[in-house]
Amino acid sequence: MTPAEHLGSPEHEQRAAALLARMTLREKVAQLVGFWVDEGGEVVAPMQDAMAGEEPTVEAFAAEGLGHLTRVYGTRPVDPVERVTWLRDLQHWFRTETRLGIPALVHEECLTGLAAWKAASFPTPLAWGASFDPELVQEMGEAIGTSMRTLGVHQGLAPVLDVIRDARWGRVEECMSEDPYVVGTLGTSYVRGLQSTGVIATLKHFVGYSASRAGRNLAPVHAGPRELADVLLLPFEMAVLDGGVRSVMHSYAEVDGLPVAADASLLTDLLRERWGFEGTVVADYFGIAFLHSHHAVARDLGDAAVQALTAGIDIELPTGNAYLEPLVAKVLDGAVPEALVDRAVLRALRQKSELGLLDPGFEVVVPESIDLDPPAHRAVAARLAEESLVLLTNDGTLPLAQPGRVAVIGPNADRVPALFGCYAFVNHVMGHHPDLPTGIDVPTVLDAVREEWPAAEVTYSVGCAVDDEDRSGIPAAVEAARTAEVAVLVVGDQAGLFGRGTVGEGCDRDSLELPGVQRELVEAVLDTGTPVVLVLVTGRPYAVRWALDRCAAVVQAFFPGEEGAGAIARVLSGRVNPSGRLPVSLPRSAGAQPYSYLHPVLGGTSDASTLDTTPALPFGHGLSYTTFAHTDLRVAGPTGRPEARTDDEVDVTVMVTNTGERRGADVVQLYGRDVVGSVTRPTAQLIGYRRVELGPGESAEVRFRVPTTRLALSDRSMVRVVEPGEVELWVGGSCDERETAATLDLTGSVHPVSTRDERWVRSTVGPARR
**Nearest to 517, CA basis, from 462, 473, 476, 471:** 471
CA distances, 638 to each of 723, 742, 746, 758, 764 (Å): 18, 17, 12, 16, 18
User: CB neighbours of 423 closer than 8 A, spacing ≥ 6?
Assistant: 109, 111, 112, 115, 174, 505
Pairing state between β 725-732 and 720-722: unpaired
CA distance 698 to 645: 35
Secondary structure class of 658 (helix, strand, coil): strand
CA distance 665 to 288: 46
CA distance 99 to 97: 7
pLDDT, position 770 = 72
CA distance 689 to 189: 15
CA distance 163 to 210: 6
User: CB neighbours of 390 closer than 8 A, spacing ≥ 6?
Assistant: 130, 555, 556, 557, 578, 580, 581, 582, 621, 622
Q: Model pTM?
A: 0.97
**Nearest to 327, CA basis, from 311, 340, 346, 312:** 340
The neighbouring-strand residues paired with 699 are 657
What is the DSSP-derived secondary structure letter of residue 131?
A: H
Pairing state between β 457-461 and 405-409: parallel
Neighbours of 77 (CB within 10 A): 19
Report CA 548 to chain centroid distance, whole Å.
Answer: 27
pLDDT, position 41 = 59
CA distance 756 to 759: 9
What is the DSSP-derived secondary structure letter of residue 750?
A: -
Burial class (CB in 10 A: 0-12, 13-18, 19+), 602: exposed
The DSSP string of 607-647 is TT-S-----SB-TT--B-SS-EEEEEEEEE-TTSSSEEETT
| 724 phi, psi to nearest 5 deg | -70, 155
Greatest CA separation found in the chain?
Answer: 79
SS3 per residue for 400-444: CCCCCEEEEECCCCCCHHHHCCCCCHHHHCHHHCCCCCCCCCCCC
pLDDT digits (tens, 9 = 90+) for 730-740: 999 999 999 99
User: CB neighbours of 4 closer than 8 A, spacing ≥ 6?
Assistant: 195, 196, 197, 198
Which amino acid is located at 1 in the chain?
Answer: M
User: Which stretches in the chain have pLDDT values below 50?
Assistant: 1-5
CB-based contact 43:75 (threshold 8 Å) = no
Burial class (CB in 10 A: 0-12, 13-18, 19+), 694: buried
**Nearest to 341, CA basis, from 98, 34, 103, 31:** 31
CA distance 595 to 168: 10
Secondary structure class of 506 (helix, strand, coil): coil
CA distance 285 to 251: 10
Neighbours of 220 (CB within 10 A): 17
What is the DSSP-derived secondary structure letter of residue 218?
A: T
pLDDT, position 4 = 47
CA distance 39 to 321: 13
The runs of H, that is alpha helices, within 557-716 are 564-573
The neighbouring-strand residues paired with 752 are 721
Secondary structure class of 148 (helix, strand, coil): helix
Secondary structure class of 330 (helix, strand, coil): helix
CA distance 47 to 44: 9
CB-based contact 486:397 (threshold 8 Å) = yes
**Type and span of the H or E element at 752:** strand 751-752
CA distance 442 to 563: 7
What is the DSSP-derived secondary structure letter of residue 20?
A: H
Number of H helices, E strands in the chain: 23, 27
pLDDT, position 54 = 64
Torsion of CA 222, 227, 228, 231, to 10 degrees: -130
**Nearest to 110, CA basis, from 125, 90, 131:** 125
Q: Which residues of 732-747 are buried (b: 16+ CB within 10 A; e: fewer)?
A: bbbbbbbebebebebe
What is the DSSP-derived secondary structure letter of residue 282?
A: E
CA distance 117 to 455: 35
**Nearest to 540, CA basis, from 232, 141, 177, 184:** 177
CA distance 586 to 580: 14
Pairing state between β 628-636 and 532-538: unpaired
CA distance 114 to 373: 10
